[in-house]
Amino acid sequence: MFYDFQPQSRFLLGTAGYPSPDVLAQAISASGTEIITVSLRREGNAGGAFRELLKSLNTRILPNTAGCHTVKEAVTTAQMARELFNTSWIKLEVIGHADTLQPDPFALVEAARILCADGFNVFPYTTEDLIVGEKLLEAGCELLMPWGAPIGSGQGLRNIEGLRSMRAWFKGIPLIIDAGIGAPSQAAQAMEMGFDGILLNTAVAKARDPVRMAGAFASAIHAGLEAQQAGMMERRDMAAASTPIFGLAEFS
């Protein structure tokens, strides 16, 4: 459950950087996503035509504060997005490092506290830091969005053990991997680890065939979820025969 919404698809898709609006629409359809993210800056540059396209796609819109570097900038952008898209949902980004686009944990928590108190449903883009996660929940967030790797890097899950610890620590809290996923196999891996969803943009938008890639990610995310829910076998240090010895024929 993502606040008041239980999606059938665990795939959240960004809307930036596609070759054309038509390719974007086709990719969203192929992905099966029910939630798309959009930057207020992107929407502002494209004007009303882009907004009308988004409305026609029959998905929930998750505006984001992409490109914001201060609390004031993020809060103001969120308030503008609420008016423009008529939603209390906001993906909160407060960038603190220019090279890695890592979020500023101090500004992120402060902005989350202000927005939650103002009635927003905040989807915070964060790292796998457990303390920051706890502070965001204390601020009023009901889910967390840890990065897999820096935005647009395609590195996948760079800190596997840190993410495993986060999943184990925040039992019952929806966790969505946001950023760094570059291949469907990486998305499946995250779902197999017990994460609740995958948000990505660049890996689809910049693919040679974005529509086909969107479908590939949808299949991988579904497969990873099914595998996790089915209960995967534990890793073993040694081999274990799948065929029992008892009952085998004896040859003399």
Which residues 6+ apart lie within 8 Å of 104 measured at CB?
69, 94, 95, 96, 97
Minimum mean pLDDT range among 56-70, 106-120, 126-140, 170-184: 56-70
Q: What is the pLDDT of residues 77-122, one digit of tens each?
A: 999 999 999 999 999 999 998 888 899 999 999 999 999 999 999 9
Average pLDDT over residues 187-206: 97
Cα separation, 203 vs 185, whole angstroms: 12
The answer to whether the CB of 125 falls within 8 A of the CB of 179 is yes
CA atoms of 46 and 90, how far apart (whole Å): 20
pLDDT at position 144 over 80 = yes
How many angstroms separate the first and last alpha carbons of the chain? 62
Q: Give the pLDDT confidence score for residue 210 in this predicted structure.
A: 97
For the stretch 205-223, pLDDT in tens is 999 999 999 999 999 999 9
> pLDDT tens for residues 18-61?
999 999 999 999 999 999 999 876 454 556 777 788 878 889 99
pLDDT of the residue at 248: 62
Positions marked active-site: 91
Identify which of 44, 14, 48, 13 has the alpha carbon closest to the alpha carbon of residue 31: 13
Other C-beta atoms lying within 10 Å of the C-beta of residue 168: 11
pTM: 0.90
